[in-house]
Amino acid sequence: MNYETIIFEVKEQTAFITLNRPEAFNGLNLTVGKELMHAAIRCDESSEIRAVILTGAGKAFCAGGDLKFFSGYGDQLPVVLKEMTVYCHAAASRLIRMDKPLITAVNGAAAGMGMGFAIAGDIILAAESASFTAAYTAAGLSPDGAMTHLLPRMIGLSRAREMVMTNRRVKAQEALDWGLVNKVVPDGDLLKETETLSKSFAHGPTHSYGMVKKLLNESFSSTLETQMEQEARGICEMAKTRDGLEGVAAFVGKRRPVFKGC
């Protein structure tokens, strides 16, 4: 598929998704949403991809919904938003639920649904210039992009309310202190750090990562006994995989495992 608003590349078993509307701070419109959905499905389905990086071109990660684009629709805006959320939510769901680890490299501002995509990463690396803003109520709107699911789980309900209701801009170091990101790095080192991490994931036990993601995603809605049963079934399922057998054999043989993602 040819993309107009994103750059999609696969190198060394890592998919690089770059939001590519720098003149609009990578704001989201229908085309971006649809292309992100297709890219996410490809990442989910391709056995050649074992890690995914999501970042933005230019000075911003993603400014969220493109309000200039929205303003042209007048009273038809709800129709457009329903279509756009179908695309963007499908993209977010695939990225969050796929086996492959998702690393988000937040280079500058992440606002609105852009912030939702930023915090959807399994590992979130923020440049020193990064910032996070909910932004919705400033435009008289309400959150989408999984923000109300992810944010309270990451920073607690009180801080989530504060961010979403006041549109408080949280800079990179504070985001790290709050547990919103995993690491803050100098702007010039962001992609290098991200690629180093992605290479580790791309050579790791892909299905094992997927099971970890599944179990953690469900942990807040499961009872103790249900979660333990899912853990038991999960580890047994992993023990049937080639990588599971290889991991055990490598440990016993006191050697480094060679994982194939299967």
**Listed residue (89, 29, 24, 88) closest to 60, CA to CA:** 24
Residues in the chain predicted with pLDDT less than 50, given as ranges, are none
CA distance readout (Å), 189 to 87, 117, 176 = 32, 21, 17
pLDDT value of position 26: 98
**CA pair distance 167, 143, nearest whole angstrom:** 11
**What domains, with CATH codes, occur in the chain?**
6-202 (3.90.226.10), 206-252 (1.10.12)
**CA pair distance 194, 124, nearest whole angstrom:** 9
**Listed residue (30, 32, 29, 34) closest to 18, CA to CA:** 32
DSSP 74: G
Q: Where are the beta strands (DSSP E) in 122-240?
A: 123-127, 131-133, 170-171, 183-185
Q: Which helix (H) or strand (E) holds 218?
A: helix 206-218
Beta bridge partners of 123: 103
Q: Are 124 and 99 in contact (CB under 8 A)?
A: no
**CA pair distance 234, 218, nearest whole angstrom:** 13
pLDDT value of position 240: 96
pLDDT value of position 1: 77
Q: Where are the beta strands (DSSP E) in the chain?
A: 6-11, 14-19, 51-56, 60-62, 102-106, 109-111, 123-127, 131-133, 170-171, 183-185
Q: Is 203 helix (H, G, I), strand (E, B) or coil?
A: coil
Query: What token pair was written down for 128?
Result: 């020193």
**CA pair distance 25, 39, nearest whole angstrom:** 20
**CA pair distance 42, 15, nearest whole angstrom:** 9
pLDDT value of position 21: 97
**CA pair distance 167, 162, nearest whole angstrom:** 7
